[in-house]
Amino acid sequence: MTDQKPVPNYPDILGYITDDQHLTIGVVQAALAVRPPVARVSRPFAVVLLLQNMSDASVDITATLHLPLKDAAGQKSHFATPKTEMEIKLLPAEVGYLVMPVNTLPRTAIAQDYTIAVDVQVKGPSKPRFIRQVNTTDEINLDYYFSLTEEAIQKLIVLKMLNFSVKKRGVFGNMLEANFALAPAKEMPRNDVKAGWFSLWSVGADGDARPLLERFRGTLALSVVPKLKPIELYKALYPVTKERFIKAYPLKSIEIHFITKLMVYILSLAPHPPLIYHYPEEAMYTIMTILKSGWPTDGTPIPLPYWCRGLLHMIGMDAEVLENPILAFSGALYDDLLRDALVHGFHIMSVATQRQLGTNYDIRIFTDYLAQQLRRVNHPLTFTDVYLPLVLAGMVVADDVPLPNEPPLLERIHTLMKLYNARAQTERNAETELAFLMAEDVSNFALRRYSDWM
């Protein structure tokens, strides 16, 4: 017998792609490749930086591309890229790759032995908790591979064929170097190289939840949901929300409060329904219902919140999730919960304003957009991004999940109204006009609800 806790060991997708070759930089594993390995003069090619987060916290990555200074004939500045530096936020346990396009001038000399490099800077937590174990012979749980999308699997197949390098340039620093050849120009179909970050897998991967529900139904109902106490959730989520948003928008405390309240409200629905749902589909967030009554067996999708799907992936791999699930929501599952807040928030706003705010597809597109914006380091958000729907929906549901020693709702509503009216002096324009108008509509709706309770 041993009292040692089982440690999480998520799938080593980077190791699968590179045959266990990687360079470790802080809590991140990296490898570098050029696609295609034999580039053509005057045709764009891609530098591919493969990254895998070994921790349960988000990590800021800065990748700086270093092109050959001269070609094989000694000619300077014959290699070019649209952007030499790219920044991303690597989610907890996430695996993916960064594509950096490169092109050459028509007279660039051909050669077999060019080298290119990427300097990788990692900014992560001071005391990370590893959820991918290094230097272990434990067998990876292959069940996780089944949650990969068909698109991700196709990308894996292509990446597997590349020759990834983990060679460092120089003794100091974290600069990865890869070799490539340059062949003569040739008439070929157009091949645009799309720059950006392409995710392959993360903790909250949206896969088929049926096997995980069957396996962890009782654990979820008995060991996780009862621990989702609103006051503890609020205390854990408030500082994380502040940290995540304050870099992109100068939030005030009342705005952070309402965003946090929306997230707490979503989790508070898990064990039991409210007296009245705001809209019929809100019942999806009361997951105890599906745990008790079961789910469709005809192959139709199982309606589950993003946070629940992410949590199911963690149960069984990480003992701390069962001991302290709230810690997971302030860490690895925060982004999944934020997605729920965005989707749920739009539905709440539709109720409050009596307006159709877009189709489910439109909402998903915006949710993906905002989630990506928050991952881009030093990338600003607008009043619209923050208020529609997070702050305003949080105001609507704020008193559906009361906390000890809160100021009266009426006072909080007026504080927010005063704040956004002050913001209007400098932030109200043609692009944000609708957001300010909706802020007034939702505030009036919240005030009417308040008067009904009096």
Q: Kindly report, residue by residue over 240-260, the tens digit of the pLDDT.
A: 999 989 989 999 999 999 999
Q: Say yes or no: 32 and 123 in one domain.
A: yes
Average pLDDT value for residue range 227-246: 95
Is the predicted pLDDT of residue 91 greater than 90, yes or no?
no
Chain Cα centroid distance, residue 123 = 16
Q: Tell me, what's the pLDDT at 264?
A: 98
Q: Say yes or no: 164 and 240 in one domain.
A: no
Q: Tell me, what's the pLDDT at 203?
A: 65
Higher local confidence (pLDDT), 145 or 413: 413
Q: Which residues, 6+ apart, have CB-to-CB distance to 15 below 8 Å? A: 21, 22, 29
Whether residue 308 is contained in a domain is answered as yes
The pLDDT-based confidence of 136 (bands split at 50, 70, 90) is: low
d(CA 446, CA 278): 13
Q: What is the DSSP letter of 332?
A: T
Q: Tell me, what's the pLDDT at 192?
A: 82
Q: Which helix (H) or strand (E) covers residue 238, if one does?
A: helix 230-246
Q: Kindly report, residue by residue over 186-200, the tens digit of the pLDDT.
A: 887 777 899 999 998
**Total domains present in the chain:** 2
Token pair for 397: 């549901």
Average pLDDT value for residue range 28-41: 96
| DSSP secondary structure, 3-55, as one string | -PPPPP----HHHHHHTS--EEETTEEEEEEEESSEEETTS-EEEEEEEEE-B
Residue at a domain's end among 154, 169, 201: 201
Q: Quick one: which of 441, 433, 442 has its CA closest to 384? A: 433
Cβ atoms 310, 333 nearer than 8 A: yes
Task: State the pTM of this model.
Answer: 0.68
Is the predicted pLDDT of residue 331 greater than 50, yes or no?
yes
The DSSP bridge partners found for residue 120 are: 63
d(CA 68, CA 80): 9
Q: Say yes or no: 221 and 184 in one domain.
A: no
Q: Tell me, what's the pLDDT at 2?
A: 36
Q: Kindly report, residue by residue over 96-131, the tens digit of the pLDDT.
A: 999 999 999 999 999 999 999 999 999 987 777 777
Q: Say yes or no: 248 and 287 in one domain.
A: yes
Whether residue 343 is contained in a domain is answered as yes
Q: How far is CA 389 from CA 37, 254, 352, in A?
A: 46, 15, 11
Q: Tell me, what's the pLDDT at 205?
A: 47
Is the predicted pLDDT of residue 45 greater than 90, yes or no?
yes
Q: Say yes or no: 296 and 411 in one domain.
A: yes
Q: Say yes or no: 179 and 225 in one domain.
A: no
Q: Tell me, what's the pLDDT at 31?
A: 97
Domain that holds residue 366: 210-453
Cβ atoms 380, 248 nearer than 8 A: yes
Q: What is the DSSP letter of 199?
A: E
Residue at a domain's end among 201, 219, 251: 201
Q: Tell me, what's the pLDDT at 211?
A: 66
Higher local confidence (pLDDT), 261 or 205: 261
Is the predicted pLDDT of residue 454 greater than 60, yes or no?
no
The pLDDT-based confidence of 141 (bands split at 50, 70, 90) is: very low
Residue with tokens 């949590």: 311
Whether residue 427 is contained in a domain is answered as yes
Helix 334-353 vs helix 360-375: crossing angle, to nearest 10? 140
Cβ atoms 108, 75 nearer than 8 A: yes
Q: Where are the alpha helices (DSSP H) in 269-317?
A: 287-293, 306-314
Cβ atoms 54, 14 nearer than 8 A: no
Q: Say yes or no: 354 and 431 in one domain.
A: yes
Q: Say yes or no: 195 and 217 in one domain.
A: no
Whether residue 8 is contained in a domain is answered as no
Is the predicted pLDDT of residue 135 greater than 90, yes or no?
no
Lowest mean pLDDT among 17-31, 201-215, 364-378, 403-417: 201-215
Q: Say yes or no: 288 and 338 in one domain.
A: yes
Q: Which residues, 6+ apart, have CB-to-CB distance to 18 below 8 Å? A: 31, 50, 164, 166
Q: Kindly report, residue by residue over 336-381, the tens digit of the pLDDT.
A: 999 999 999 999 999 999 888 888 878 888 888 887 788 776 779 9
Q: Say yes or no: 192 and 217 in one domain.
A: no
Lowest mean pLDDT among 157-171, 179-193, 384-398: 179-193
Q: Tell me, what's the pLDDT at 149?
A: 67
Token pair for 302: 């199982």
Q: Say yes or no: 130 and 174 in one domain.
A: yes
Residue 403 CB neighbours (<10 A): 15
Q: Say yes or no: 267 and 169 in one domain.
A: no
The pLDDT-based confidence of 206 (bands split at 50, 70, 90) is: very low
Q: How far is CA 252 from CA 45, 249, 259, 429, in A?
A: 45, 9, 11, 21
Q: Tell me, what's the pLDDT at 128?
A: 75
Whether residue 3 is contained in a domain is answered as no
Residue at a domain's end among 179, 201, 223: 201
Average pLDDT value for residue range 146-160: 78
Lowest mean pLDDT among 168-182, 262-276, 308-322: 308-322
Q: Tell me, what's the pLDDT at 12?
A: 82
Whether residue 393 is contained in a domain is answered as yes
Whether residue 179 is contained in a domain is answered as yes
Q: Tell me, what's the pLDDT at 148?
A: 65
Q: Kindly report, residue by residue over 292-328, the tens digit of the pLDDT.
A: 988 776 556 678 899 998 898 788 667 778 889 999 9
Residue 16 CB neighbours (<10 A): 15
Q: Kindly report, residue by residue over 66-81, the tens digit of the pLDDT.
A: 999 999 999 999 999 9
Helix/strand/coil percentages in the chain, nearest 5: 45, 20, 35
Q: Tell me, what's the pLDDT at 147?
A: 55
Whether residue 1 is contained in a domain is answered as no
Q: How far is CA 305 from CA 8, 225, 239, 261, 327, in A?
A: 23, 13, 23, 17, 18
Which CATH number do you get for residue 60?
2.60.40.10
Helix 253-268 vs helix 409-427: crossing angle, to nearest 10? 130
Is the predicted pLDDT of residue 144 greater than 70, yes or no?
no
Lowest mean pLDDT among 279-283, 299-303, 393-397, 411-415: 299-303
